[in-house]
Structure 1
Amino acid sequence: MRFDPWNPDFVAFPYDAYAELRREAPVGFFEPTGQWLVARHADVNALLRDRRLGRTYLHVATHEEFGRLSPPEFQEPWWRVNNAGMLDLEPPEHTRLRRLVSRAFTPRMVESLRPRVKEIAGGLVDAFVAQGGGDLIAEVAEPLPVTVIAEMLGVPESDRGLLRPWSADMCGMFELNPSLEAQHAAVRAATEFAGYLRGLAAERRGDPGDDLISALAQIEELTEDELVGTCVLLLNAGHEATVNVTGNGWWALFRNPGELARLRADHSLLPTAIEELMRWDTPLQMFERWVLEDIEIGGVAIPKGVEVALLFGSANRDPEVFVEPDRLDLGRADNPHISFGAGIHFCLGAPLARIELAESFGALLTKAPAMELVKEPVWKPGYVIRGLESLEVAI
């Protein structure tokens, strides 16, 4: 099967197509999206660190100067939020914003959250076991990271049900050639999400609490747009990947019963197991960068002004880097996967995500040791942010 990100069969299993790309066209132009696909680990890893590429080009040129069309006017609310978050900024703005936000993600601060994460995960799994199972994604995978990041930010418990739908709709814009319906849904979500956060920040300026929104609201050099963009990024990135690693990971374990039995027999494998599950079925399959000056990738000339699509899912199965890459090995010691990215945009929340995954998987292994799949799951239609619709299990 060729690279076809709108084909459900490809989304369900893109790895044969990736192997073909790595062999025959490791750097190749994909006409439907106007992007250059990059499939090999060495190239993807190097380009993530290459300052001749950027998540944006607006720090060096206008849309017109860069030979691109301005986004449609109706999309402005979405871009206003997205472009104010550090993921889509480049230095010096990125450096300043990441420095401010990283104060909340020091190793000590993140590790101090472990008891609370363990408590939340344990409570969710206890309730899940008591009802005899159900949809693992809706009942455990989603509420854990949403609760953790919402508590960090200080989102009231009564409002947390708003977050996941807003996030899902906003993230629809990251898919390849999103439909007009998806674009409008993303704009609506961005408008509502931003309005909600502006109101919350205004409250906390006058009556600060012990939470991240209160802390950010007191920082004078942070604009309101940057505060909103940062909070949206933390909420979206802070749970989308973790949800999908949990769902994809358990589905991977059910498909590899020998490795699942190995993990059930030896919970000390959990740290390497989590890294391997992130590698074997990567939650973020593609990460895009703009080419800011003419470059060469693997002997292929890539001109300034185009976009490269770095195929994380392919890089994480590259036999040049991983021994038997298609085999799930929960004890894999040498595992330089790039599921969290690399370079200046390396995922700020990676340590927190690892804690959430360790506590979630650990609680399920301990409290539901015989958990089994009820029916084969279906993949969501999205390719870039790739996850399951649901995962029905019995305890």
Structure 2
Amino acid sequence: MLVVKNATLLFLSRTIVRGHALLGDPAARLFGMSPTRDPYPTYESVRERGPVVRSRMGLHLTASHELCNSLLRDPGFGPMAANELSLIDSSAYVGTRRLVNPVEESFLVLDPPDHTRLRRLVAPWFTPRGLRDQVATVERVVEEYLDEVSGRPTFDLVGDFAARVPIQVIADLLGVPDADHAAFARWGGALVNALDGVRDLKEVRALHRGLREFEAFLDDLVEHRRRHPGDDVVSRLAQHEDLRREDLIATTELLLVAGFETTVNLIGNSVLAVLADPGLRERLVDDPGCAEDVVEETLRLDPPVQYTVRAPFADTEIAGTRLRKGTPVVLLLAGANRDPAVFADPHRFRPGRPDGREHLAFSAGIHYCLGANLARMEGAAALRGLFRRFPDLRAAGRVRRRPSRVIRGPERFPVSTGAAKHRPIVEIIS
């Protein structure tokens, strides 16, 4: 019954959103538009209306870099899980255990001290020191998957390469056996698609089914790692007898989603930017070392994560606007990354710009993305490998965007490895 009730509420809420959008409400226009449409004009319209824009839907929005940065660091504000994983039926069970919500029960949205305690357990794998041992592994994985596509005239950049590199890396970090990588990737993709893409009762049920399968797999993996520990994240978590199962499951699922989806879309968006600029492609071929700058500018101009949500713990005021306790404020991170008050010529792709690292693609404050440096490393290694192996890489068909407002990136991206002439990338992006 709870699933049916949630699906009904979902339908009603979307009907209300569409109605508000027709009246010009900024939040409704953003969340009511097609998830594959270009969102950046909407972010600009929010910024033009002031630092804080109020919506009739009970939300406030901001595309101000200064305000987003401030609220991300403000201890008086906490994260909210503003996504459709809230539709997860808490009465569903895996065996005798209830289903865990991988967002609302993870340290992504928890506050100290729970956030600090859980994050500290997995942080050693993502520090600069911990990642030094991963450099050779990431480069090896990149080369392995490039070897597989090197004999083909065309391949799907996402499915055949960009999605496989991060899933291999994060699965190895978590201690997932090679034989389970495909299923692991499928479960991770289902979780990400549900962030804002659950459209009907059928998809809600499919999400629940996927989570039940995933949790059953993780329960078995944890038990195995307790008996046979390795040098991986799940083994470390499994050794903590006082760690609740729900915390262990949610932490593992969060690391999968964050470690996989941030990077696959970062790689896809980076390649889109390079292929749209012949001069930049030639520069990358001649100087592979500029891959880091390309990745950083992609994070600023077209980041994988578009927005996040914060709410005050008490009545307060921001930028002259009064907020009641618990009022959601949508921080348009991708819009803040184009704020002309911070970035010169903000709509231009300029790798190596002096203010390039001022972006908020990985959030800020205590919830700054734990895997930021890993994502940067994987993105740069992927670009170096791709354009060293295929200096004439070109788009070879229509690019299909991921149907998500939260996560932005290509879902299908056909590319050619030859030197044949192709239409400019701007003509074939849908």
Q: Normalising by structure 2, report the TM-score.
A: 0.83
Tell me which moved more, 227-236 or 83-92: 83-92
Structure 1 position 325 matched with structure 2 position 341: no
1:21 partnered with 2:46? yes
Which residue of structure 2 aligns with residue 66 of structure 1? none
Hey, what's the Cα distance between the residues in 2 that align with 1:168 and 1:255?
27
Q: Counterpart amino acid of 2:132?
A: E
Q: Which amino acid aligns with 1:113?
A: Q
* Amino acid across the alignment from 1:390: R
The answer for the alignment partner of 2:108 in structure 1 is: 87
Partner of 1:146: 167
Matches of 1:217 and 1:135 in 2, distance apart? 37
Structure 2: give runs of 5+ residues left out of the alignment: 1-23, 418-430
Q: Give, in whole Å, the separation in 2 of the partners of 1:79 and 1:36.
A: 29
CA positional deviation for 1:291: 2.4
* Deviation readout 1:155-182 (Å, 9 max, x if unpaired): 1111111122212222234227854444
Q: Does the aligned pair in 2 maintain the 1:267–1:362 contact within 8 Å?
A: yes
Do residues 339 (structure 1) and 389 (structure 2) align? no
Partner residue in 2 for 1:160: 181
Q: Distance in 2 between matches of 1:6 and 1:390?
A: 23
1:118 aligns with 2:142: no
Are 1:98 and 2:119 matched, yes or no?
A: yes
Does residue 368 (structure 1) correspond to residue 390 (structure 2)? The answer is yes
| 1:105 partner amino acid | F
The change in CA–CA distance for 1:189 and 1:88 in structure 2 (over 3 A counts) is: farther
Which residue in 2 is equivalent to 1:204? 225
Q: What residue is the counterpart of 1:356 in the other structure?
A: 378
2:269 maps to which of 244, 248, 266? 248
Q: State whether residues 136 and 392 of structure 1, in contact with CA within 8 Å, keep that contact through their aligned partners in structure 2.
A: yes
For residues 360 and 44 of structure 2, the distance between their equivalents in structure 1, rounded to whole angstroms, comes to: 17
Aligned equivalent of 1:35: 59
Q: Secondary structure at the match of 2:410?
A: coil
**Which residue type is aligned with residue 13 of structure 1?**
D
Equivalent AA in structure 1 for residue 355 of structure 2: D
Following superposition, the deviation at residue 185 of structure 1 comes to 2.9
Partner of 1:224: 245
Q: Deviations over 1:272-320 (max 9, x none)?
A: 1110011111111111123221222221112112211110110111111
Partner in structure 2 of residue 172 of structure 1: 193
The alpha carbon displacement at 1:14 in A equals: 1.6
Amino acid at match of 1:233: L
Q: Distance in 2 between matches of 1:75 and 1:294?
A: 36
Q: Give the C-alpha shift of residue 75 in structure 1.
A: 7.1
Q: Which of 270, 285, 289 matches 1:268?
A: 289
**How far off its partner does 1:96 sit?**
0.8
Give the deviation of 1:30 after TM superposition: 3.2
Identity fraction in percent: 36
Stretch deviating more after TM superposition (286-295 or 342-351): 286-295
- What are the Cα deviations for residues 57-106 of structure 1, in whole angstroms up to 9, with x where unaligned? 9xxxxxxxxxxx99865578555443332112111111111111112223
The range that moved more, 286-295 or 243-252, is 286-295
Q: Structure 2 CA distance, aligned partners of 1:368 and 1:268?
A: 16
Bigger mean CA deviation after superposition, 103-112 or 131-140: 103-112
* SS state at 1:326 partner: coil
Q: How far, CA to CA, are the matches of 2:185 and 2:142 in structure 1? A: 18
User: Matched residue of 1:289: which SS?
Assistant: strand
Q: Aligned partners of 1:192, 1:29: CA distance in 2, in Å?
A: 41
The correspondence of residues 68-87 of structure 1 with structure 2, limited to 5 A, is 73=90, 79-87=100-108
Moved over 4 A (4+): 69-79, 176-179
Contact 2:76–2:314 (8 Å) recurs in 1 = yes
- Aligned CA RMSD, in angstroms, stands at 2.3
Q: 1:176 to 1:314 in 2, by over 3 A?
A: farther
| Alignment check: 8 A CA contact 1:380 1:386 kept | yes
Instruction: Give the SS at the match of 2:412.
Output: coil
Other structure's SS at 2:400 match = coil
Aligned positions of 1:123-134 closer than 5 A? 123-134=144-155
Give the structure, 1 or 2, with the largest relative contact order (CA under 8 Å, sep 6 or more): 1
The within-5 A match list for 1:295-314 is 295-314=316-335
| Paired position in structure 1 for 2:73 | 49
The aligned residue for residue 213 of structure 2 is: 192
Q: Offset at 1:371?
A: 0.2
The CA distance in 1 between the partners of 2:242 and 2:289, in whole Å, is 45
1:315 pairs with 2:336: yes
Residue 346 of structure 1 aligns to which amino acid in structure 2? Y
Q: TM-score, normalised by structure 1?
A: 0.90
The 8 Å contact of residues 90 and 99 in structure 2, kept in 1 or not, is answered as no
Match of 1:290, SS state, is strand
Mapped partners of 1:184, 1:29: distance in 2: 34
Q: CA deviation at 1:200?
A: 0.6
Deviates more, 1:337-346 or 1:170-179: 170-179
Q: Note the C-alpha offset of 1:323.
A: 0.6
2:155–2:414: 8 Å Cα contact kept in structure 1? yes
Number of residues of Structure 1 aligned to a counterpart in Structure 2: 382
Give the 3 Å change call, closer, same or farther, for CA 25–176 of structure 1 in structure 2.
Answer: farther
Distance 1:43 1:188 in 2: 40
Alpha-carbon distance, 1:35 to partner:
2.2
Q: Secondary structure at the match of 1:323?
A: coil
d(CA) in 2 for partners of 1:73 and 1:103? 32
